Amino acid sequence: MSRDLLGEVSDYYGARLAEHGATPRGVDWNGAEGQRVRFEQLTRVIAPGAYSLNDVGCGYGALAEFLAERGGEFHYTGCDVSEPMVHAARERLAGMPGIRFVVGSVPPEAADYGIASGIFNVKLTRPEDEWKAYVEATLDELDRTSRRGFAFNCLTAYSDRERMQSHLHYADPLALFDRCKRRYARNVALLHDYGLYEFTLLVRKEP
């Protein structure tokens, strides 16, 4: 993956954090309600019982808080290319057992599950073909570092045309479903029915 691309992403989210603080708007979401809906969809990939999880593009650690509120035994590693984001996450969740945060684009080790929320949306000035290559490379890493399955979301190409913005990436849900089904696992679910201009894909490696 291009260092320049990841550097642009890091700078963008660092600026959002500086402007809005450790809030949903600080990671470019409209509000807490939509963020919670996304987490509910993404975590459907997790089977009952204890588990470990990598959160790629963890931001300020909101998913870790969501998982803790839901309860259960888990070990969580959040990674983010933005050092200020990781610093904010460590400050907010200091002392919470089973949770750690690292700076980087790839998890340091494999876990049962991987989750990526929102990291494919903001392409800034990058050409579509370069951004799609970044998405595909990141999905390959999610697959490599997830033993039991992974989940991710994207803005949808089915969004209203007049509302689309040039700095955002709107993915084709059918193309990504096909990629996941052919490359990663037989058990793949496409969720496109939860009221937001996006979709979630769940990739389960277990029968």
CA 142 to chain centre: 10
Gyration radius (Cα) of the chain, Å? 16
User: Of 58, 171, 183, whose CA–CA distance to 114 is shortest?
Assistant: 58
Residue 184's pLDDT is: 98
Residue 43's pLDDT is: 98
Q: Which residues contact 103 (CB under 8 A, 6 or more apart)?
A: 79, 80, 81, 82, 83, 86
pLDDT band per the 50, 70, 90 thresholds, residue 6:
confident
Residue 44's pLDDT is: 98
Residue scoring higher pLDDT (56 or 5) = 56
Q: Which residues contact 167 (CB under 8 A, 6 or more apart)?
A: 122, 123, 124, 125
Residue 120's pLDDT is: 94
CB 155 within 8 A of CB 197: yes
Range 57-68 average pLDDT: 93
Q: Which two tokens stand for residue 21?
A: 């603080």
Q: Which CATH architecture has domain 3-204?
A: 3-Layer(aba) Sandwich (3.40)
CB atoms near residue 192 (< 10 Å): 15
- Residues above pLDDT 70, as percent of the chain: 91
Three-state DSSP at 110 gives: coil
Helices 173-183, 128-144: inter-axial angle, 10-degree rounding: 40
pLDDT band per the 50, 70, 90 thresholds, residue 11:
confident
pLDDT band per the 50, 70, 90 thresholds, residue 24:
low
Residue scoring higher pLDDT (24 or 18) = 18
**pLDDT at 170 exceeding the cut of 90:** yes
Range 32-54 average pLDDT: 94
132-148 confidence digits (pLDDT tens): 999 999 999 999 999 99
Three-state DSSP at 148 gives: strand
* Rounded Cα gap, residues 144 and 164, in angstroms: 32
pLDDT band per the 50, 70, 90 thresholds, residue 26:
low
Residue spans of the domains in the chain: they are 3-204
